[in-house]
Structure 1
Amino acid sequence: MIRRRVLALVAVASLLLGCGSSPSDDDGARGSTTTAATTTIGDDAGAGASTSAPTTTTEAPGPVAELPRGGTEIFPAFRVVAQYGNAQAPVMGVLGEVPPEQAAARVQAAADPFATPDRPVLPAFELIVTVAQGAPGPTGTYSTPTPMELVRPWLEAARAADMLLVLDLQPGTGDFLTDARRFEELLRQPDVGLALDPEWRMAPGQVPGQVVGGVDAAEVNEVSAWLAAIVAEERLPQKLFVIHRFTDQMVRDADQVEDRPGLATVFHVDGFGGRSVKLRKLDQLRGPYWTGFKLFLDEDTDLFQPAEVLALPDPPDLVTYQ
């Protein structure tokens, strides 16, 4: 498993390093005109990210903007069905195999079977926007940010299809909050969520792909506090906040992870293999809040079908295909 992912990291890092600007420098000149439920993304998305958490009032008013398919709460109103990957590397997931508009149709088709009379689906892209790599790279953190001009088309396609965009972070030896701030302007949008991938959060001296990383609850809480403050300040609907894991040590002191107002906090159970292994991990690692479950199209043995996922005791709130 680790060897396969190292090869993917090398391929993606090579592509990203040749793509021009990062979110923190020249982000291109394409702003996107949004609907009434969104604001316009300026030409400098990510370049003016603040260095401290936004302040909030003690009695913040309720949200003004709505979710792509109506309402202001993701859970329990909807079941989210996502596809995961990188904009340029199909080896990292199903996203990237086709252009964003075609990917949106694929996600909708994957999501439709999960709809029930009492719980409609809300499709999503989970797009890896900082990619762990096997060398320090320009940032010195063994992670490369995706240029903003490669991210914007995915947000535009998501909006055209009334879907969510979730930004997935693989920080290497950096930290999640620094990576999240690179994309602050996008995260101030009502239809953009955030996912943390601790497998690729390395301690000093560790190299992505050689070991499985991990994060402390304190760092997760720092990110969620910052993100929840944005939700309150911008009067946004509930924002998806996903924490991936497939071992206990990937999120240390997980019982101390806080659930913030304005966030739909999801412990997302990853890992591929046979059904018994996946169900055991799902039971072991699901958190006290909302639950995610990853299905690997190529690596899983006897892939769970939508009806079988829905038939599970306490079925997941978020289902992600990779």
Structure 2
Amino acid sequence: MERQYRWQVQPRFFVILSILVGLIFGVWGVVRLIAHVTAPRPPELPRGGRTVFPEYRLFGYSGYPDAASLGRLGTGDIDERMAEIEKSGQDFLRGRKLMPVMELIAVTVHPTPGSDGMYRTRVKDEIIESWLATARKHQAMLLLNIQPGRAKFLDEVKHFERWLREPEVGLALDPEWAVGPDQVPGKVFGRTSGPELDEVARYVAGLVAEHDLPEKVLLYHQLHVDIVAEEDKLATHPGVVLVKSIDGIGTPKAKTSTWQRIVDRTPEHVHVGFKLFFEEDARHGPLMTPDEVMALRPEPEYILYE
């Protein structure tokens, strides 16, 4: 009788145990499902996705609030300027999606040294906050343009780290205004180098990785071939999209010639953009048309108007 009793008890035990195990795994599965559904999605680019190219073509204006001399984006109502960008950008898409760009001159060079002797002034946080709100309203990218004077690019970039943690914010470096310790901006052409740009790119890549950000644009402007030395030492970095804006002023023929000279010396992993000037270019003849711009080879992936 005792042996029979044991055989009767053991099956019941295993049935109960199986039920308990099933309940535990069932509850765990529900918990995992809820966690998956409610987990925050990684931040994306303003118009979706985590990578810039080849899905998007960047198109925008540059400027500073209420400063017509610094670009069209700083004149009139900023929402009207964004509507212009949205409309005019359609002429350059060629099968891509539009990514509107606001290039805010966040560090402005000037001919006087200032209190720290750096010949530059940084924009107030309130202005960046306002322009970032506008960028978000219009699903646009905000690039902080840096004219460093005697300061180092990396020092200026680090000053804006708070804003670079935002998925909409990238950088536009302007080496024409990067001068040496004994030079004055405007009296000489500034310059930079591949190693200096690479230092900034490594820093930005670190921010992207740390904060799980979408790809971040690191743009640098180039007016003529001598402005960037040792460009081959600018390497690729995960999460950083390198873009060069070719900025020559003049007739369509002169601008195209400048484009070709600079493009021929550009590393293959650097995307290229093209800049047009509403006033300066117009003094030399009609502005290049969208068809003329998009006939450049390779096709510009960023088109900027000032």
Q: With the length of structure 2 as denominator, give the TM-score of the two structures.
A: 0.82
Q: Corresponding residue for 2:18? A: none
1:321 matched to 2:301? The reply is no
Tell me the distance in 1 between the aligned counterparts of 2:293 and 2:224: 21
Q: Corresponding residue for 1:170? A: 147
Q: Deviations over 1:79-125 (max 9, x none)?
A: 00010122231101112112432322222122122223x31111110
How much has 1:311 moved relative to structure 2? 2.8
Show structure 2 runs of 5+ residues with no match: 1-40
Letter in 2 for 1:192: V
Query: Aligned Cα RMSD in Å?
Result: 1.4
Tell me the distance in 2 between the aligned counterparts of 1:272 and 1:234: 39
1:297 to 243, 265, 278: 278
Q: Corresponding residue for 2:33? A: none
> Is the 8 Å Cα contact of residues 87 and 96 (structure 1) preserved in structure 2?
yes
Higher helix share: 2
**Structure 1 segment 20-59 matched on structure 2, within 5 A:** none
Tell me the distance in 1 between the aligned counterparts of 2:187 and 2:66: 23
Q: Corresponding residue for 1:141? A: 118
> Is the 8 Å Cα contact of residues 248 and 259 (structure 2) preserved in structure 1?
no
1:109 matched to 2:90? The reply is no
Tell me the distance in 2 between the aligned counterparts of 1:86 and 1:251: 25
Higher relative contact order (CA 8 A, sep 6+): 1
Q: Corresponding residue for 1:3? A: none
Between the two proteins, what is the percent identity of the paired residues?
A: 36
How much has 1:304 moved relative to structure 2? 1.3
Q: Deviations over 1:121-150 (max 9, x none)?
A: 111101100000001112320000011112
Stretches of 4+ moved more than 3 A in 1?
Answer: none
Q: With the length of structure 1 as denominator, give the TM-score of the two structures.
A: 0.78
Show structure 1 runs of 5+ residues with no match: 1-62
| Structure number with bigger Rg | 2
Q: Corresponding residue for 2:71? A: 93
Q: Mean alpha-carbon deviation: is it higher for 227-236 or for 83-92?
A: 83-92
Match of 2:108, SS?
strand
> Is the 8 Å Cα contact of residues 100 and 141 (structure 2) preserved in structure 1?
yes
> Is the 8 Å Cα contact of residues 256 and 296 (structure 2) preserved in structure 1?
no
1:64 matched to 2:42? The reply is yes
Q: Deviations over 1:31-74 (max 9, x none)?
A: xxxxxxxxxxxxxxxxxxxxxxxxxxxxxxxx921111111111
> Is the 8 Å Cα contact of residues 177 and 190 (structure 2) preserved in structure 1?
yes
Q: Corresponding residue for 2:197? A: 220
> Is the 8 Å Cα contact of residues 100 and 153 (structure 1) preserved in structure 2?
no
Between the two proteins, the alignment pairs up a number of residues equal to 259
